[in-house]
Homo-oligomer: A and B are copies of this chain.
Amino acid sequence: MELRDLGEFELIDRIERVASRAGPAVSLGIGDDAALLRLRTGEEVVVTTDAFVEDVHFRWRNEAPGLVGRRAVVACLSDLAAMGARPLGCTLGLAVPGALPLRRFDALVRGISAEATRHDAPLVGGNLTRARETSLSLTGLGAVKRGRALLRRGSRPGDRLCVTGVLGAAALDRARAERRGGRVRYLPQPRIAAGRQLGAIPQRVACIDVSDGLLADLRHLLGPSLHVPIDPEALPLPRGFASACRRLGLDPERTALAGGGDYELLFTLRGEAPSAAQLSRRLGLPVRELGRVLRGAPRGASPGGNEDGGWRHF
């Protein structure tokens, strides 16, 4: 059965049936003109919108529809994590072709709803339209203590650059699926708890999530007049990463630096900051120090100066 066999409202019903109505912050979920979400005293609203488009961010032929939905939610909630926010809820702008199999639609929507609910960001609203290709536009809503959000700006020479988790796993998984005709299997995690912990550390300065690749996002974090020369040996890599890359004909260093889709937190610290090991305990995640912020634009020679890298959509 295809989507064109059902009416718009029947499809919306199918979304409503899987969407959780409850959530710690939800006063009113799906079903009215808009949803209502509660903040605590002294908090402000955090809002981010992310898109996930067929043949740009995913391909039906090499990924289970449920995982497509989950990955879209992770990409969106990762932006809340990078602000140090707690999630409140999310909304979905879903565009689908009439020829989409109903089973695929159901699995996609279940994946979205399950992943969102899992992170206390239940689906509270949205919109359904037809289009020539499937695309998801997810808006994540969160809350953060007023004036305490983690911002991108503010780094200075001497600050220490750190990253959570490991880099390159998502890119390796994607490359394996593309080149070997396999399936995308890797589900990254939005670092929500770590972001909230980081926001409470006095020495923290600035933060971004690694969505486009370390080099591209480092540029967004530092701007044009600062850089960090990154020692490829210092990169935190998944176990067996280098050999797995080589088997696929990939350069491990480049894959880790430019791959994208890891959704780890990349941040700077200033002053008498805790060690990476102490931070790691605090954030509940591996933390690796990548180097110190230096004045001046990045140069081509160092990986930090690599002009390309990162995932571009045009």
Q: Which residues of A are at the interface with B, using a C-beta cutoff of 8 A?
A: 3-4, 6-8, 11, 27-28, 31-39, 41, 44-51, 53, 56-57, 79-80, 82-83, 85, 88-89, 91-95, 98, 124-133, 135, 137, 139-142, 144, 146, 149, 151-153, 207-209, 312-314
> Which B residue sits closest to A11, measured CB to CB?
B314
Sample of 5 A–B contacts (CB below 8 Å):
A38-B44, A45-B88, A47-B139, A49-B125, A135-B135
The complex places the Cα of A8 from the Cα of B51 at a distance, in Å, of 14
Given A51-B95, A56-B130, 13 extra CB contacts under 8 A:
A8-B313, A11-B314, A34-B140, A37-B44, A39-B45, A45-B45, A45-B141, A47-B91, A47-B139, A51-B93, A53-B129, A53-B130, A131-B133
Chain B residue contacts of A94, Cβ below 8 A: 51
Distance in Å: Cβ of A267 to nearest Cβ of chain B:
11
Q: Which 3 A-B pairs have the closest CB atoms?
A: A93-B137, A137-B137, A34-B48
**Distance between Cα atoms of A56 and B95 in the complex (Å):** 11
Which residue on chain B has the smallest CB distance to residue A27? B44
Residue of B nearest to A45 (CB): B37
Count of identical protomers in the assembly: 2
Measured between beta carbons, the chain B residues less than 8 angstroms from A50 are 93, 127
* Contact status B151-A32, CB under 8 Å: yes
Q: Given A34-B85, A39-B39 in contact, is the A47-B151 Cβ separation under 8 Å?
A: no
**A78 → chain B, closest Cβ, in Å?**
8
Q: Measured between C-beta atoms, what is the minimum distance from A139 to chain B in Å? A: 4
A207 CA / B95 CA spacing, docked (Å):
27
Contact B32–A36 (Cβ < 8 Å): no
Contact across chains for A56 and B129 when beta carbons are under 8 A apart: yes
Kindly list chain B residues whose C-beta atoms are within 8 Å of the C-beta of A49. 91-93, 125-127, 137, 139
